[in-house]
A and B are shown apart, each in its own frame.
Chain A
Amino acid sequence: QKEVEQDPGPLSVPEGAIVSLNCTYSNSAFQYFMWYRQYSRKGPELLMYTYSSGNKEDGRFTAQVDKSSKYISLFIRDSQPSDSATYLCAMSVPGYGQNFVFGPGTRLSVLP
């Protein structure tokens, strides 16, 4: 079993739809959870960073963490064509950056 599982997609939705992206993980030592957006031929851009279980909202984005189920989600409301990208989940144990594990990413296409 991989440490982090993420459906690679591709996922296609119409403009305005609510998008749900998910990752599961197996290592209960992970304490910090992130979502990155990566456009083609670009580096990943940090979208959300959470620590505790529960929800964190930032504009149209909501990150959800359920540590008991080892499951994290990213919801995108009112999706736009500009949201079309690959979304990577990432998680880490406490430290200064050496212990990050990334999911393979889900490719999202928002169709106008």
Chain B
Amino acid sequence: GAVVSQHPSRVICKSGTSVKIECRSLDFQATTMFWYRQFPKQSLMLMATSNEGSKATYEQGVEKDKFLINHASLTLSTLTVTSAHPEDSSFYICSVSGSSYNSPLHFGNGTRLTVT
């Protein structure tokens, strides 16, 4: 399956600052990556689909100006949480689908964001 590297694993920032999370597909070129958010004891919620070379597609209710996604290469997508607030504190996980149609998702190890 796909190998996905996510960095950092944990970040603490002050309210009002911005945080960038990187997601790398290590073993194949991913034209599409997915960003999920997970609250404690809750399921994964898709935030946005990151498309290489084009704009990301955001799910309903997700603020695109707050969660900036850049997919500048076939192996790297970044999620920037802008002007972070305590309510943005969460577990953010990126994933890639395999190169084949109907491939399962493979996830990075997630980033625990804490906004103080």
A: residues with CB less than 8 A from B are 4, 8, 31-32, 34, 36, 41-46, 49, 51, 88, 90, 92, 94-98, 100, 102-105, 107
Contacts and interface: CB of A to CB of B under 8 A. Distances in A.
Interface of B: 1, 4, 6, 9, 32, 34, 41-44, 46, 49, 91, 93, 95-97, 101-110, 112
Contacts of A42: 109-110
15 contacts: A4-B43, A32-B102, A32-B104, A34-B105, A43-B6, A43-B95, A43-B107, A43-B109, A44-B44, A46-B104, A49-B104, A96-B97, A96-B102, A98-B34, A100-B46
Contact of A88 (B4, B34, B44, B110): B44
A31 B104 CA distance: 12
Nearest to A45: B107
Given A41-B112, A94-B102, A46 B1 contact: yes
